[in-house]
Structure 1
Amino acid sequence: MRAVARARSLHKQVPWRQSHLQAVGDVRFHGRELYPLAGYNANRRGCTDFTASCSLHEEYPFAIRGFASSIDVSVSGEEFKAGPLVEYERRIAAQELKPGDEYQEKAVAELQDLYENLMRDAGDIGLEKDQPRSSQRGSGGGWLFKHFMSKSITPSPRGLYLYGGVGTGKTMLMDMFYEQLPRRWRKSRTHFHDFMLHVHSRLQRRRGMADPLEMVAGEIAEESVLLCIDEFMVTDVADALILNRLFDHLFRNGVVMVSTSNRAPDKLYEGGLQRDLFLPFIATLKKRCVIHEIGSSTDYRRLTAAETGFYFMGPGASETLRKLFLAELDGEETKPTIVEVIMGRKLKVPLAGAGCSMFQFHELCEMPLGAADFFGLFKNFHTLALDSVPIFGSHNRSSAYRFVTLVDVMYDHRTRFMCSAEGSPQELFAKVVTRADAPKKSDTRSVRHSDADLLVDDELGFAKDRTISRLTEMHSKEYLKEHAKTHKSGDSAIRET
């Protein structure tokens, strides 16, 4: 009850808006108290299944107060959900989430605020699939029409950029927000790597046109007015050089972005090549998104991690991994195969069968492969066995980058990961440090043996905490349950409804 009281107190601090949403349907609550339903106006119909008879005759602020075990409101033939704050309260009450994280609560308040703005303006900004998107942006009727009508076009609300440390619940909160939105909206949820791969793929198909980036942005805006992008992390110069113009076009087309990141906007692409050309994007991001930090120091992934999972170390680790891999095939014969990835690329899989694939580390992370190849791999296989993951240092910097990307893509696809390694996740990255953490050398002529293989790299030094956290979680019982659920239902990395 204290968790609910805390969330209610938080709710009062937020300038909740009144919604213009008109819903027609029945509301069913089961409990001793009647609480307002978020943005719901039930003037036309009564409410049933209450312990006390009642009716709703006014608009209420967003958020159901209390415990509602059943909510079934028909809005244009679709179930209406009350928003992320209500779902967050429900999960705390059901002991699915730990109460008392004020950082998460403040982030949920921001998400609820955005949810209300979108519900209020959905019809005006073109979120509804059954409404032509072009009419919402005033793109038809010629210059004179645009000139006089542009002032009456409802501007899209500001999006939200959530950033903070690893395992603080950013992705969970964004997904919770996304799942509360109507299925009929133009919306998509994707990982940043996947999003940029699709952008580059579209640009390649439109090569030779006057401004292919504007065309691609227009297509994306037509498909998804709301973009939810997980793990916003810019490391590639090709991505950095197009992001400003890409998002300038997207925002002009009314797109709203919700994203998560481990980095504050000012830290994005820090130290990257030609970063001065990237800086205008940071300014645009701050203008079009509310910037909110989740400052919790708790890593929830490690709290639920199992001790061993499918992570093997020491003598005989490779043999143990191979035996486990063969056991997972349930008698099916293994054989080499080739899978297609985006942009016409193909990837050779040395051993495959029953949705499982097995590689030596060098076959995936010491070859010229990238996120596109990994996405293609995990759209075909739900399990990866990776043998002989090494300790990372200055001698295998490129392999370390690929391994970090591999783990990110696996995590987003909820891939089951089995591996043999030279050390624990922490030991794999023990020699990777940022410039700020690198030991200071008083005498440049002498280098200690322990520092000889030190890898000083800001991007890897920053990303290693996320990778260690994800590797730990990926061998937990909770993650393996999610893996089974995801691949049983045939879910994908990009969820569009």
Structure 2
Amino acid sequence: MPSTNTSPASSGPIAGAPSDAAGGPAALTARTPQVPADRLVAEMVPPPRFDSVRFDNYIPDPAQPSQTDAVKVLSEFATRIDGGATASGGGRRRWFRRAEQPAGPSGPRGVYLDGGYGVGKTHLLASLWHATPAAPEQKAFGTFVELTNLVGALGFQQTVQTLRGHRLLCIDEFELDDPGDTVLVSSLLGKLVEAGVALAATSNTLPGKLGEGRFAAADFLREIQGLSAHFRTLRIDGEDYRHRGLPQAPAPFSDDQVTKAAYGTPGASLDDFPSLLEHLSRVHPSRYGAMCDGIEAVCLTGVRPVPDQSTALRLVVLADRLYDREVPVLASGVPFGDLFSEEMLRGGYRKKYFRAISRLTALARDAQRVIES
């Protein structure tokens, strides 16, 4: 089973300045940040790219009514989340106001946005977080990877205690990559639902199909069905908005062009792509966001197809963190569409790889301004 980390997390300080070496660009390969557990909790908010998103600035595709329907359902869902009153006699905080509470404890306790990459699921999830009438510290937003990393940092019981007082937990990019994740997340969400926490998630996979093609999911059918029971599924159809009506991404640049741009761009990083892939194996994925602190543009030379699935999955996480932070990516070598082999693009992680290609392509388009400045 592929893993996103093949060795213990490295230690070291986070570079305090955009440039890690006087007179030259930063190097991601020189960064092995420490990320305290309290930072993981504090950063469970929508990332910078989604600071200003709201339901009213989501632009549905007129040809896809499911997108408009999702806005309506989620808007109503946000208004039903209780303001924190406790149920009489039980001391447990209610999720819905009394008149709207589901009839039984086994009814769906959340919404699950299922759809292809680039249909705006994260925009809608972040909009739900913003629209929910609660203080920021009473709402949590993070990717599935960040949630499992939080459990690793705090331990299961402390994670439950930390999140059980929240009114809403939003989980982006919900996927089950291995049996351990399946049991862990099933238990965690069950505890949080019992405590009255509302759930919302996005994924490229229907709840009942989680884990399919990645491990012996049939052996964990009870856990998967238990997860599925927590959610009402909303299917969102459509094309990838990141490339809708836009020109193709620029062709890769030369090594010299990338290097010159890195030295001429304040806050840029410059790395050899194979060396960066090797470095990612020594830094836990939960620290990839911190590794990008202060970086204004990522410049990569010698981009080539990734050699194996474990490396590919780590690259997916880095691509997500760069996209969240709106960091343009300027590269030489092969186009991003050629990063993953045909076998990978047909396998159980194909949707992750297509999402990474989509996001890196968007960031490559953003990098045009770097090369032109």
TM-score normalised according to structure 2 size: 0.71
Match among 295, 300, 320 for residue 381 of structure 1: 295
Matched, 1:169 2:81: no
Residue type of the partner of 1:388? G
- Partner-residue secondary structure (3-state), 1:475: helix
Match among 399, 403, 425 for residue 315 of structure 2: 403
- Paired with 2:71 and 2:86, the residues of 1 have a C-alpha distance of 23
Distance 1:110 1:429, change over 3 A: same
Are 2:329 and 2:366, in contact at CA under 8 Å, matched by a contact in 1? no
Are 1:383 and 1:417, in contact at CA under 8 Å, matched by a contact in 2? yes
CA-based RMSD = 3.2
Cα deviation code 1:284-321 (max 9, x no counterpart): 2222211111122x111111545446x624xxx11111
Cα deviation code 1:335-368 (max 9, x no counterpart): xxxxxxxxxxxxxxxxxxx3x3222222221342
Are 1:157 and 1:256, in contact at CA under 8 Å, matched by a contact in 2? no
Distance 1:124 1:357, change over 3 A: same
Are 1:160 and 1:292, in contact at CA under 8 Å, matched by a contact in 2? yes
TM-superposed deviation, 1:165: 0.6
Matched, 1:116 2:79: yes
Distance 1:161 1:372, change over 3 A: same
Are 2:208 and 2:228, in contact at CA under 8 Å, matched by a contact in 1? no
In terms of mean alpha carbon deviation, does 161-170 or 278-287 score higher?
278-287
Residue type of the partner of 1:415? V
TM-superposed deviation, 1:168: 1.0
Match among 181, 185, 191 for residue 239 of structure 1: 181
Distance 1:413 1:101, change over 3 A: same
Distance 1:412 1:246, change over 3 A: same
Are 1:125 and 1:254, in contact at CA under 8 Å, matched by a contact in 2? no
Are 1:244 and 1:284, in contact at CA under 8 Å, matched by a contact in 2? yes
Distance 1:136 1:101, change over 3 A: same
How many residue pairs get matched? 303
Please list every run of 5 or more consecutive structure 1 residues that lacks an aligned counterpart in the other structure. 1-86, 127-133, 139-153, 204-212, 330-353, 438-456, 481-497
Residue type of the partner of 1:468? I
Alignment of 1:357-436 (within 5 A): 357-367=269-279, 368-369=281-282, 370-392=284-306, 395-422=307-334, 424-429=335-340, 431-433=342-344
Cα deviation code 1:237-274 (max 9, x no counterpart): 54234112111211111111111111111222223446
Residue type of the partner of 1:404? V
Higher relative contact order (CA 8 A, sep 6+): 2
Are 2:330 and 2:367, in contact at CA under 8 Å, matched by a contact in 1? no
- Paired with 2:342 and 2:227, the residues of 1 have a C-alpha distance of 34
Cα deviation code 1:161-191 (max 9, x no counterpart): 1011111111111122222223526112212
- Paired with 2:364 and 2:337, the residues of 1 have a C-alpha distance of 14
Matched, 1:266 2:208: yes
Please list every run of 5 or more consecutive structure 2 residues that lacks an aligned counterpart in the other structure. 1-53, 95-103
- Partner-residue secondary structure (3-state), 1:293: strand
Distance 1:358 1:477, change over 3 A: closer
- Partner-residue secondary structure (3-state), 2:164: helix
Alignment of 1:431-470 (within 5 A): 431-433=342-344, 457-459=347-349, 461-470=350-359
Name 2:142's counterpart in structure 1: 190
- Paired with 1:243 and 1:458, the residues of 2 have a C-alpha distance of 19
- Partner-residue secondary structure (3-state), 2:213: coil
Matched, 1:474 2:363: yes
Are 1:304 and 1:476, in contact at CA under 8 Å, matched by a contact in 2? no
Name 2:131's counterpart in structure 1: 180
Give the percent of matched residue pairs that are identical in Structure 1 and Structure 2. Answer: 26
Name 1:337's counterpart in structure 2: none
Distance 1:415 1:192, change over 3 A: farther
Residue type of the partner of 1:466? R
Are 1:386 and 1:419, in contact at CA under 8 Å, matched by a contact in 2? yes
TM-superposed deviation, 1:325: 0.6
- Partner-residue secondary structure (3-state), 1:232: coil
Residue type of the partner of 2:132? L
Distance 1:122 1:281, change over 3 A: farther
TM-superposed deviation, 1:327: 0.6
Larger Rg: 1
Are 1:237 and 1:273, in contact at CA under 8 Å, matched by a contact in 2? yes
Name 1:214's counterpart in structure 2: 157
- Partner-residue secondary structure (3-state), 1:411: helix
- Paired with 2:285 and 2:243, the residues of 1 have a C-alpha distance of 26
- Paired with 1:398 and 1:464, the residues of 2 have a C-alpha distance of 12
TM-superposed deviation, 1:221: 1.3
TM-superposed deviation, 1:233: 1.9
Residue type of the partner of 1:467? A
TM-score normalised according to structure 1 size: 0.54
